Structure 1
Amino acid sequence: MDIPVRTISDLHAEIIRLEKVKQQQEMDLKQRFNSPSNIFAIVKSIFHKPGDPKNGILDQDLFGLLSRVILPFTLNKTLFKGSGFLVKTLVGLVSQKASTYISEDSVTGVWDKAKGLITGLLKKKNKPPEPDFAKAAPTA
């Protein structure tokens, strides 16, 4: 309600009206935070949005939670060491978004691929040379 204030009495009336609105809002907030279960539900809603089962911070596994901290920290300390505040903030935001794709399954998949590649290279390196039957067979 935008009431035009033209006189001092209009100003006093508007101040009184705003104080009543403030008191009503305070009573509404007290009613909302009156029990520990309501407070816990509000704090939980910060970390988990209703209707989206995999959107909350607490719904990630250990690798996802660690990557939310480690990924921006390591990027800012290594690749973007001399960067300014804005670049580091953008790196933090992008790496936070990217950390949602990091899970235990993705880490173990990459680990298995790297392990298979290394063992394949080591087997080729340590493989004994095959004998050449053309040289070893006597000619008649």
Structure 2
Amino acid sequence: MNRRYNINNLEELHAMVCSLKAEHQRKSELLLKDSRAYLKQFTLGGLIKKYATPSSFLKIDDKLNISSSLMSLVLPFVMNSTLFKGSGFLTKTLVGLASNKVGKTLDAEHLSAIFNSVKSWFSGSKNKKEKSQQYVDYGIPPDSETY
């Protein structure tokens, strides 16, 4: 880029040099700030913030169906090693086939619904106590003038 400056004396030259140095400093700071922001998106924290949200997991799972394929592998192993530990070969085979089919039908939405229902079993008693304490009946009928 060719710039033409109309400089007539030494003072204008010094003023132009100072303004060019200031412009150079400002552009270098802006470039450094932009490059840091660009590189920050590729750090581990930036990648986690971008891709590790629940909605992105659901989108990825809808495309690749990771949770159902993982559950179809893990569920037969867990069932045979815990619930059917002392069972025979035939029982373990049938349980493995059945849990493999069930695992393929599970996806991230089903797993999150199951997790929320199990979580509500343990936290449900607190909510019931709070709801019963909110309404207090003082014996005044609702159509009374004092109500």
TM-score (norm 2): 0.42
Select the structure that is richer in helix: 2
